[in-house]
């Protein structure tokens, strides 16, 4: 009889962990509290417009290709576009910049638009490339919490580059030391938001994100971001994984220091191991009540949240691309508001994602589907109805000014997400998107491990545990779970 594995949550980390465990011979069941699969990577159609509801930036598609190959499927099982542009940037003084991907293109644009030295930019991007390749095998693709994961040849390559990581300076300080134009620095600083952190507090090490964003550039799945969860769900089903939707797990059962099963609102299920793809804070608070939680880890500062408006716009705007940023004039004050006063400025940085630029079926002819996001603080009881109204007005005013059009006139359909919805729908503690923030030099070491040190058979995947936030890191968390399970269950 095969061993049983239960996955709590069908986000990217849960789906990919399930696939990997099924290939190890486990009989896998995935429980999902909602009526849809995919966690934050889901889709909704409003009128004639389709919207991706959650993540919008996709890098390292080879990690999905890897799962497709693991399941013996042809390469075209998962298809995606490689985008020529990383993003379009709009500054408060009216300057607009289309940033192409690749070291050569980025370096030339930084020189032409911002007066940066061509060779300086090339050296920076090259350093980020090598920093990423050095860090990846020992930090991103391995556990920080098992010594055996550290002892490999790659550790020496990573250690040799320690002085080049920027561990003792913030992301902003590292960027200011290299580039002379504040706009260049602002572009690079914004990458801290990819895991819900502040560039004025997160370590310079996080600049490795620029390798994925600028050197390699983003991709977009054929069919939109939801194609990621659809592909993983299909792979899971074809590998015999069972899904139980609309069945929230209410507790993880354990005995004598070992996981023995889970309890839902309607039944109890036995198993040999559990992988929680739920926010790690809620895993302890809701599913392991009375069990000793790692207080020091869980009490770390949380990542930011978001307010997103989904607008069906009955007009096309050629000045916008797939990814667009309208910067706040005072970037540092914006992050102070998010993390210190837990509020929002009247001039927020706005991100607009438009899949219909590539996926024509996502909007009617001559129209566009706008995913309009601003970073928001976590929910500590603010008057969100008031903040939503103010934020919507501020966003519309700013976009209308930048595009020289009254945008509200073109909005045909509308919906929104705020920190309250993120908490209630996706079970993100206080609406936090990525669990703990990276707003300290050693934040990486305060992310929860991918396994429990107290309960045998309990593992963790997803963006709230090691190695961190974003789809690629969630996929890597599942790889680490697979490695830990193989070690613990002595599977070759």
Q: Give the distance between the most distant pair of CA atoms in the chain.
A: 67
Q: Give the span between the Cα atoms of 358 and 82, in whole angstroms.
A: 11
Collapsed DSSP state (helix, strand, coil) of residue 105 = helix
Q: Using alpha carbons, select from 283, 122, 287 the residue that is nearest to residue 211.
A: 122
Structure confidence at residue 486 (pLDDT): 97
pLDDT bracket for residue 253 (50, 70, 90): very high
The CATH homologous superfamily to which domain 4-44+59-80+223-300+439-488 belongs is FAD/NAD(P)-binding domain (3.50.50.60)
Residue pLDDT, tens place only, 299-320: 999 999 999 999 999 999 999 9
Collapsed DSSP state (helix, strand, coil) of residue 388 = helix
Task: Tally the residues of the chain.
Answer: 492
pLDDT bracket for residue 158 (50, 70, 90): low
Residue pLDDT, tens place only, 162-192: 667 777 899 999 999 999 999 999 999 999 9
Structure confidence at residue 162 (pLDDT): 66
pLDDT bracket for residue 445 (50, 70, 90): confident
Tell me if 211 sits within 8 A of 131, measured CB to CB.
yes
Q: Using alpha carbons, select from 446, 35, 76, 39 the residue that is nearest to residue 277.
A: 39
Residue pLDDT, tens place only, 309-368: 999 999 999 999 999 999 999 999 999 999 999 999 999 999 999 999 999 999 999 999
Structure confidence at residue 159 (pLDDT): 65
> What does pTM read for this prediction?
0.96
Structure confidence at residue 446 (pLDDT): 82
Tell me if 211 sits within 8 A of 198, measured CB to CB.
no
Structure confidence at residue 292 (pLDDT): 87
Domain chopping of the chain, boundaries: 4-44+59-80+223-300+439-488, 121-213
Task: Read off the pLDDT of each residue in 397-417 and give the average, rounded to a whole number.
Answer: 98
For residue 1, pLDDT over 70 is answered with: no
pLDDT bracket for residue 160 (50, 70, 90): confident
Q: Using alpha carbons, select from 166, 86, 83 the residue that is nearest to residue 127.
A: 166
Give the helix ranges, DSSP H, for 301-426.
331-336, 384-403, 419-426
């Amino acid at each position: 009889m095969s061993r049983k594995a239960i996955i709590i949550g069908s986000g990217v980390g849960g789906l990919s962990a399930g696939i990997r465990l099924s290939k190890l011979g486990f009989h896998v069941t995935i429980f999902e509290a909602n009526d849809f699969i995919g966690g934050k990577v889901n889709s909704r159609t409003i009128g004639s417009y389709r919207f991706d509801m959650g993540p919008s930036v996709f890098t390292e598609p080879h990690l999905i290709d890897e799962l497709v190959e693991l399941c013996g499927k042809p390469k075209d099982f998962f298809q995606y576009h490689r985008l020529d542009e990383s993003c379009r940037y709009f500054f408060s003084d009216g300057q607009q910049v289309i940033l192409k991907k690749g070291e050569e293109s980025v370096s030339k644009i930084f020189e032409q638009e911002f007066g940066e030295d061509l060779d300086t930019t090339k050296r920076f991007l090259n350093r980020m490339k090598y920093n990423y390749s050095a860090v990846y095998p020992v930090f991103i693709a391995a556990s920080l919490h098992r010594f055996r994961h550290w002892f490999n040849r790659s550790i020496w390559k990573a250690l040799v580059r320690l002085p080049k990581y920027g561990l003792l300076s913030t992301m902003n300080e590292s960027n200011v030391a290299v580039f002379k134009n504040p706009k260049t620095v602002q572009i690079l600083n914004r990458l801290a938001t990819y895991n819900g952190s502040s560039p004025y507090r997160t370590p310079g090490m996080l600049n490795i994100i620029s390798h994925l964003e600028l050197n390699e550039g983003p991709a977009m799945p054929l069919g939109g971001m939801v194609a990621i969860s659809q592909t993983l769900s299909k792979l899971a089903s074809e590998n015999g994984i069972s899904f139980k939707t609309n069945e929230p797990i209410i507790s993880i059962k354990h005995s004598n220091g070992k996981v023995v099963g889970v309890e839902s609102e309607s039944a109890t299920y036995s198993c040999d191991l559990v992988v929680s793809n739920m926010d790690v804070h809620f895993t302890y608070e809701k599913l392991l009540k009375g069990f000793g939680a790692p207080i020091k880890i869980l009490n770390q500062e949380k990542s930011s949240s978001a307010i997103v408006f989904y607008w069906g716009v009955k007009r096309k705007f050629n000045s916008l691309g797939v990814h667009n940023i309208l910067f706040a004039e005072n970037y540092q004050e914006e992050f102070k508001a998010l993390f210190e006063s837990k509020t929002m400025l009247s001039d927020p940085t706005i991100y607009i994602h438009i899949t219909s630029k590539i996926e024509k079926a996502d909007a009617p002819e001559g129209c566009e589907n706008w995913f309009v996001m601003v970073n928001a603080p976590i929910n500590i009881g603010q008057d969100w109805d008031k903040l939503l109204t103010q934020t919507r007005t501020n966003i519309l005013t700013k976009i209308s000014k930048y595009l020289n059009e009254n945008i509200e006139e073109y909005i045909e359909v509308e919906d929104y997400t705020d920190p309250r919805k993120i908490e209630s729908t996706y079970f993100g503690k206080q609406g936090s998107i990525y669990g703990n923030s990276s707003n300290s030099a050693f934040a990486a070491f305060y992310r929860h491990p991918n396994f429990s040190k107290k309960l045998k058979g309990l593992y963790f995947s997803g963006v709230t545990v090691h190695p961190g936030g974003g789809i690629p890191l969630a996929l890597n968390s599942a790889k680490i779970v697979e490695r830990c399970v193989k070690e613990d269950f002595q599977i070759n």
